[in-house]
Amino acid sequence: MCIVARMREHRPTFNRRGFVGGLIGSTALAACLARPARAQELFSRIGLRGALDADLNGLLPDVADDQSRMLQQAINGAARDGKILWLPAGSYVVSNIDLPDGARIAGVAGATRLIYGGRGHCFVAEGGGRIELSGLVIDGANQRLGEHVTGLVHLRGVSEAVIEDVDITGSSGHALTLEGCGGHVSGCHFSGAAQVGLYAVGSTGLAIRDNVVSDCGNGGILVHRWSPDEDGTIVSGNRVMRIAARAGGTGQNGNGINIFRAGNVMVTGNHVSDCAFSAIRANSADNIQIVGNQAIRSGETGLYAEFEFQGALIANNVVDGATLGISVANFNEGGRLAVVSGNIVRNLVTQGPYPAENAGFGIGIGIEADCSVTGNTVDGAPKWGILAGWGPYLRAVNISGNVVRRSGAGVAVSVVEDSGSALISDNVFQDTPDGAVVGCRWNEVVTGDLTRPGAERFSHLTIADNAVG
């Protein structure tokens, strides 16, 4: 005689450490699971978002046996019937789950745990109008993923991907990969991924809001495209912290938020701290907005707009701790057209994650072409508060209304032949022992303080009405 209540007290339970060493089945429990009447008693049908949970198909929590087949059948049935598959609290060992169009899986936030059993992939979707995951913990147990996926959860071509209140941890690749998807990711926590917390490529109107990304091996939130094009993703209100660069490099990895080839992206109101390289890095990203963010203790540049971009608005951010606070660079590659306004940049350092190159480290703000730098405060840039131009790569720069203090020099501006025009006016320079404004040939200072009476004049520079003291 099988007494289900007693068996539930003593049946094998899932233990993550034990799982890595091997799963232990339970013959007695399997016999009890065959009783559908008892399964109905264990799991009542609970209303959720106006719908009933679908048939659980024999799934039970906290069983050491792999339940992939039963979960797949339950998902397929729920999607076919237009229902939500609601999973009670507990742990379920699963692998190679395919998400059909219309799949909606919900659980008890923080308590419904899906453990990847290895041997391929955890969750994959190949196309679809809408797929929803909510209230789940998805644990990769650091098990190897197959070559056909990069993420523990990997969705391709889903028009409306809705990922809410989901924790994804312990992935041997990315935590979440979205290829060619729209929809939104909100209220989630991505942690302990060997690669990246959230990798979105070729997105179609995606929103990434109010998530936590922590302790990932090579990146936090990445918004990329295969080739430069409009993207329009919104990245807002996220907390990103402790991002490493285990794969090395000089900026390809180790960034909190990275935008690559994706145009018209907004990065607003995020708190990014303790990244190996940049808090926020935009590479070849036209019309990027980086507004109202906190960039704390960056290992290299705090906020970066680089390479072949046209249009960057970097405003109202706080950068505290970096080798270079804000960089708008690579006019030689076509990078141009920017506003850098209303930022606080402080506590820069001269030691970076690799030997110093070009202008080196310890600089507050660096800009090159078609750029306004207004209303910023730089406090504590050991080398230069503001760097304008690099060799001949200087054009149409306005540096006005800024405060630079406790810095080596206030502004270092290029005086190389063929440099374009620069206006440096109405700034306040205080405690800049190497000069308020100095002229440079690349990395070499070649003039005295250009704000002083009788200083050397350059036809491409207009320097006026600055307060030096």
Per-residue model confidence as pLDDT tens digits over 300-354 = 999 999 999 999 999 999 999 999 999 999 999 999 999 999 999 999 999 999 9
- pLDDT tens digit sequence for 63-98: 999 999 999 999 999 999 999 999 999 999 999 999
Average pLDDT on 38-57 reads 47
Residue 165, in any domain of the structure:
no
Is the pLDDT reported for residue 26 higher than 70? Answer: no
Q: What is the pLDDT of residue 401?
A: 99
* E runs forming strands in 189-270: 189-191, 196-201, 206-209, 212-216, 219-230, 234-236, 239-243, 255-263, 266-268
Q: Which two tokens stand for residue 92?
A: 């379920």
Contacts of 129 (CB under 8 A, 6+ apart): 101, 102, 158, 159, 160
Q: Are the beta carbons of 188 and 209 closer than 8 angstroms? A: no
CA 111, 182, 290, 198 torsion-angle sign:
positive
Rg (CA), the chain: 27
- pLDDT tens digit sequence for 433-454: 999 999 999 999 999 999 999 9
327: nearest Cα among 248, 276, 390, 379? 390
Residue 374, in any domain of the structure:
yes
Q: Are the beta carbons of 446 and 415 closer than 8 angstroms? A: yes
Q: Which pLDDT band, with edges at 50, 70 and 90, does 458 fall under?
A: very high
* E runs forming strands in 233-379: 234-236, 239-243, 255-263, 266-268, 271-275, 280-283, 288-291, 294-296, 301-306, 310-315, 318-322, 324-328, 336-341, 344-348, 363-367, 369-374, 377-379
Residue 167, in any domain of the structure:
no
Q: Which pLDDT band, with edges at 50, 70 and 90, does 253 fall under?
A: very high
Phi, psi of 279 (to 5 degrees): -65, -50
Q: Are the beta carbons of 85 and 55 closer than 8 angstroms? A: no
Question: What is the enclosing helix (H) or strand (E) of 38?
Answer: helix 36-42
DSSP state at residue 442: T
What CA–CA distance (Å, rounded) separates 183 from 162? 6
- pLDDT tens digit sequence for 364-419: 999 999 999 999 999 999 999 999 999 999 999 999 999 999 999 999 999 999 99
Q: What is the overall mean pLDDT for the chain?
A: 91
Residue 150, in any domain of the structure:
no
Q: What is the pLDDT of residue 403?
A: 99
Average pLDDT on 163-176 reads 99
Is the pLDDT reported for residue 295 higher than 80? Answer: yes
The residue with greater pLDDT, 110 or 45, is 110
DSSP state at residue 66: B
Partners of 4 in beta bridges: none
Residue 42, in any domain of the structure:
no
Q: Which pLDDT band, with edges at 50, 70 and 90, does 53 fall under?
A: low
Question: What is the enclosing helix (H) or strand (E) of 5?
Answer: helix 4-10
Q: What is the pLDDT of residue 38?
A: 36
Q: How far apart are the first and last CA of the chain?
A: 92
Residue 314, in any domain of the structure:
no
**At 436, is the secondary structure helix, strand, or coil?**
coil
Number of folded domains that form the chain: 1
Q: Which pLDDT band, with edges at 50, 70 and 90, does 58 fall under?
A: confident
Q: Are the beta carbons of 163 and 188 closer than 8 angstroms? A: yes
Q: Which two tokens stand for residue 367?
A: 């800009």
Q: Which pLDDT band, with edges at 50, 70 and 90, does 47 fall under?
A: very low
Residue 353 structural domain: 323-469
Average pLDDT on 23-48 reads 38
Average pLDDT on 240-249 reads 98
Residue 114, in any domain of the structure:
no
Is the pLDDT reported for residue 156 higher than 60? Answer: yes
Angle ∠(344,349,354) on CA atoms, nearest 5: 125
Residue 260, in any domain of the structure:
no
How far CA 448 is from CA of 24, 263, 417, in Å, comes to 77, 41, 18
Contacts of 142 (CB under 8 A, 6+ apart): 20, 170, 171, 172, 194
Q: What is the pLDDT of residue 54?
A: 59
